[in-house]
Structure 1
Amino acid sequence: MFGRRDFDPSGHAQSDTATVIPMPKPVADQPRTPLQVTPPGPDPVGRTEAYYRHKQDIVASVLTAISGRDLTQGDSAQHKQEIRRIVLDYIDVQKISLSRPEKESMAEDIIHDILGYGPLEPLLIRDDIADIMVNGTKETFIEVKGKIEPANIKFRDEGELLNICIRMASAVGRRVDVNSPICDARLPDGSRINVIIPPLAIDGPTLTIRKFKKDKLKMQDLVRYGSISAEGAEILRILGKTRCNVVVSGGTGSGKTTLLNCLAANIESDERIITCEDTAELQLQQRHVVRLETRPPNIEGEGQITMEDLIRNCLRMRPERIIVGEVRGPEAFDLLQAMNTGHDGSMGTLHANTPREALSRLESMIMMGKNLSEKAIRDMIANAVDIIIQTKRLRDGTRRITHITEVVGMEAETITTQDLLVFEIEGEDHRGKIVGRHKGQGIVKPHFWDRAKYYNEEDALSAALKRAGEG
């Protein structure tokens, strides 16, 4: 169904032609115990202790019936239907006392266990969930509409959760075992996952999934949600069209990647775009896109491909624009070099709380790998970066673009900036939602005015800035 491969006890992937069993075996250091389905405690959706006892017997029967079958091949819908038939037949033959809803829940649960990701499957198919946070077998939380709440799912034991983590990692050729207890990977649908297992995770395997909407957000969606004003969206469109070099700054979960996708939508379809990411998340719609992804070291500590390696290599691939998913180290130097050497319109994200802090972080990251003076680094940043866009998740869970800030140049040894648009908080409504507006800062002709004029966008820019100032 997802093109997964089975694993041997050491956690290594077998060949694609190997016989696939429903769940990978635990890693070598895990105790080998017979398959048991035990109730994890009171179940808010009505699964009782008797339900779990019956499920244990039914799972064993299904595993016997499909033994030796490769369930990654063929029609997944047909596989689901066959497992459902085996489950319902077993319930009828054994005269197990279950109501019709319980029978359907039993069939769905077992299908998820065998073909999907077990108890996580109902959460993964929900499009309103932004994050899934599994803190061992006892607690799972989800983020919905910017707020974290508990999820009503249960794992039968640590072994089941660990096997699900292994499956997820194996989908993209990554591994999780006692020798590689930390893993960053992505699911086939683009969702990003992080796994950390014992002995590093004290309370059991810990899994974090950053999900992405099936229907990708567009700039007009950000306007509708209040993340940016219509005038601000027009300014962002012009920034993309006029090939300004942009840094998107913000905290974790503030919407940096979503905004980067929206900004990239303004790139012309005939431009060659190369993306560099630690875990591939960007989903650009242009035709001419090359996607690159870093690689962690193998168990011997060799074979690592860093972000710095990717950016240096992509400069030899005739890019017109370079988009870096997240700048977090010495690769900042190579990205700025690219921005300064003809790759106008390049973009990247980084973690920072304000535009000024974003500049300081860029400076610090370059210092990590280069022995340059502070003034030389600041000159490079001032010449390379045109715009910093600041995103923030507010205390009510909403995400806002709080600043569109222009990098003007240098005064003495200080980088100078000016705000084009700022989100001003005015209070909160009766529901506790923050109320505010995006307000222009009175800039009539920004520093990139000549660039806008070159692309025949000066009238649109002037009108957007005027409306923003009046708002």
Structure 2
Amino acid sequence: MTPQSDLSGLVEEVRTRLTRTPGELSPHRVADALRAAGRPVGDATVLAVYEALRRDVIGAGPLEPLLALPGVTDVLVNGPGPVRIDRGAGVEETDVVLSSEEACRRLAQRLVASGGRRLDDAAPWADVRLPDGTRCHALLAPLAQPGTAISLRVPRRGGLDLTALHAAGTLSDAGLELVRRLVEARLAFLVTGGTGGGKTTLLSALLGAVDPRERIVVVEDAAELRPAHPQVVGLEARPANLEGAGAVVLRDLVRQALRMRPDRLVVGEVRDAAVVDLLAAMNTGHEGGCGTLHANSAGDVPARVEALALGAGLGREAAHSQLAAGLDAVLHVRRDRTTGRRRLGEIAVLARGADGLARTELAVAFDASGTATRGPGAQRLLQLLDGGGA
């Protein structure tokens, strides 16, 4: 067996020779390149070099085995060195190693190219969806230190339903009952939390619990939601091409979705001016609208929505008025620092303060053990669930 260091040297030498002449990658061409370099041409060596090169030009290259591991949600490259993964219990190192900055840069450029974008010194970052649905973000060095950074968000195969989230500890007994009733009551809600907190997973499971006779239209920047539901139409934004034309933004797609007879309008991640159209939809008879939003707590939602709406030209008073009138509940997810477990932390309801501004009231909080504690908004939540919130 060729030592790993010797194999890396052979791979780079063969790669250099193969790039000088066009042709498909094959064991025969690899053997010819090894002979030309005066290297050993045994079957084991040829196949080892060929497989290393093949992995480097197909799929996610050396990251492919990591993407296939059960439970992996993220694969992370922080420049040369060990590649890291997240399987739900925090970031951990793997045995996969990228040997140089050149290897990191080459891998990042190939991944981004497979998603239809370019990555070079003139365009040093990109966010694309790969053909298998994996979301890829890449940022070249020297903007990223200690080297080119690649972040892969792995789509969950098959998704999880509410029962599975309950079994995994994301939802307690009381939490499972409340979110099921929330979906059945067609309340408008947002799922909030931090990056990697499980917002998309919970929202996808909630959509899977929607009545199969209802039509769900999902609008996303990058397709991540995969609810187990028979009537889902997905709309995905599109970046500009190399000439800077052809971009389709989230806000345009929200407007199109409103013309597609949605029973449920879903914005996968509310993070720009699309919030204005989502609020408008929630206030014009489109019940059960929902989405996800980055926020540190349910109490921060009004301020986050206000900031996004102001950026779209909607005044403060109008933004709060539409938020209070259109949004019913906020489901906030947390990720435990010690165990890495994602769980529903609190459910809040919207209320209007004496100043006319929207605010959230805690309805129920769940601790790490799943124990539920009622808050001042509990009665309001029960009224909404019973259909008396109008």
- TM-score (norm: length of structure 2): 0.86
Please report how far the alpha carbon of residue 47 of structure 1 lies from its aligned counterpart in structure 2 after TM superposition.
4.3
Give the Cα separation in 2 of the matches to 1:444 and 1:158.
Answer: 54
Aligned mate of 2:212, from 269, 276, 288 = 269
Matches within 5 A, 1:358-437: 358-374=301-317, 376-396=318-338, 397-425=340-368, 436-437=369-370
Gapped regions of structure 1 (runs ≥ 5):
1-44, 72-82, 426-435, 455-471
SS in 1 for 2:77: strand
Across the aligned residues of Structure 1 and Structure 2, the Cα RMSD in angstroms comes to 3.3
Give the Cα separation in 2 of the matches to 1:235 and 1:451.
Answer: 8
**One-letter identity of the residue aligned with 1:384:** G
Give the Cα separation in 2 of the matches to 1:288 and 1:407.
Answer: 29
Matches within 5 A, 1:184-263: 184-263=127-206
Which residue in 1 is equivalent to 2:386? 452
**One-letter identity of the residue aligned with 1:343:** H
The alignment status of 1:441 with 2:374, answered yes or no, reads yes
**One-letter identity of the residue aligned with 2:370:** R
SS in 1 for 2:223: coil
Please report how far the alpha carbon of residue 292 of structure 1 lies from its aligned counterpart in structure 2 after TM superposition.
1.5
Preserved CA contact (<8 Å) 1:232 1:438: no
Preserved CA contact (<8 Å) 2:254 2:277: yes
SS in 1 for 2:97: coil
Q: Does the C-alpha gap of structure 1 residues 318 and 57 become closer, same or farther in structure 2, counting only changes over 3 Å?
A: same
Please report how far the alpha carbon of residue 275 of structure 1 lies from its aligned counterpart in structure 2 after TM superposition.
1.2
Please report how far the alpha carbon of residue 273 of structure 1 lies from its aligned counterpart in structure 2 after TM superposition.
1.6
Which residue in 2 is equivalent to 1:4? none
Please report how far the alpha carbon of residue 377 of structure 1 lies from its aligned counterpart in structure 2 after TM superposition.
2.4
Gapped regions of structure 2 (runs ≥ 5):
none
SS in 1 for 2:200: helix
**One-letter identity of the residue aligned with 1:340:** N
Q: Does the C-alpha gap of structure 1 residues 106 and 237 become closer, same or farther in structure 2, counting only changes over 3 Å?
A: farther
SS in 2 for 1:419: strand
Q: Does the C-alpha gap of structure 1 residues 444 and 359 become closer, same or farther in structure 2, counting only changes over 3 Å?
A: closer
**One-letter identity of the residue aligned with 1:380:** Q
Give the Cα separation in 1 of the matches to 2:183 and 2:306.
Answer: 24
Which residue in 2 is equivalent to 1:291? 234
Q: 1:105-144, CA deviations, whole angstroms, 9 ceiling, x for partnerless residues?
A: 6564333124333221221211232211112223432223
Aligned mate of 1:150, from 88, 93, 98 = 93
Please report how far the alpha carbon of residue 349 of structure 1 lies from its aligned counterpart in structure 2 after TM superposition.
0.7
Give the Cα separation in 1 of the matches to 2:100 and 2:365.
Answer: 49
Preserved CA contact (<8 Å) 1:127 1:214: no
**One-letter identity of the residue aligned with 1:352:** A
SS in 2 for 1:243: coil
Q: Does the C-alpha gap of structure 1 residues 84 and 240 become closer, same or farther in structure 2, counting only changes over 3 Å?
A: farther
Preserved CA contact (<8 Å) 1:408 1:447: no
The alignment status of 1:337 with 2:276, answered yes or no, reads no
Give the Cα separation in 2 of the matches to 1:360 and 1:144.
Answer: 32
Preserved CA contact (<8 Å) 1:180 1:299: no
Give the Cα separation in 2 of the matches to 1:207 and 1:215.
Answer: 25
Q: Does the C-alpha gap of structure 1 residues 88 and 399 become closer, same or farther in structure 2, counting only changes over 3 Å?
A: farther
Please report how far the alpha carbon of residue 184 of structure 1 lies from its aligned counterpart in structure 2 after TM superposition.
0.7
Preserved CA contact (<8 Å) 2:14 2:30: yes
Q: Does the C-alpha gap of structure 1 residues 373 and 420 become closer, same or farther in structure 2, counting only changes over 3 Å?
A: closer
Aligned mate of 2:61, from 98, 103, 118 = 118
Give the Cα separation in 1 of the matches to 2:145 and 2:337.
Answer: 30
- TM-score (norm: length of structure 1): 0.72
**One-letter identity of the residue aligned with 1:363:** E
Give the Cα separation in 2 of the matches to 1:200 and 1:173.
Answer: 22
Q: 1:264-293, CA deviations, whole angstroms, 9 ceiling, x for partnerless residues?
A: 111122322211111111112323322112
Please report how far the alpha carbon of residue 410 of structure 1 lies from its aligned counterpart in structure 2 after TM superposition.
4.4
Q: Does the C-alpha gap of structure 1 residues 369 and 95 become closer, same or farther in structure 2, counting only changes over 3 Å?
A: closer
Aligned mate of 1:174, from 117, 131, 135 = 117
The alignment status of 1:311 with 2:236, answered yes or no, reads no
Which residue in 1 is equivalent to 2:290? 347
SS in 1 for 2:143: coil
Q: Does the C-alpha gap of structure 1 residues 190 and 398 become closer, same or farther in structure 2, counting only changes over 3 Å?
A: same
SS in 1 for 2:56: helix
What is the percent sequence identity of the aligned residues? 32
SS in 1 for 2:96: coil
Who wins on radius of gyration, i.e. which is larger?
A: 1
Give the Cα separation in 2 of the matches to 1:446 and 1:181.
Answer: 49
Give the Cα separation in 1 of the matches to 2:322 and 2:276.
Answer: 9
Preserved CA contact (<8 Å) 1:278 1:293: yes
Preserved CA contact (<8 Å) 2:346 2:363: yes
Preserved CA contact (<8 Å) 2:240 2:247: yes
The alignment status of 1:53 with 2:12, answered yes or no, reads no
Equivalent residues, number: 384
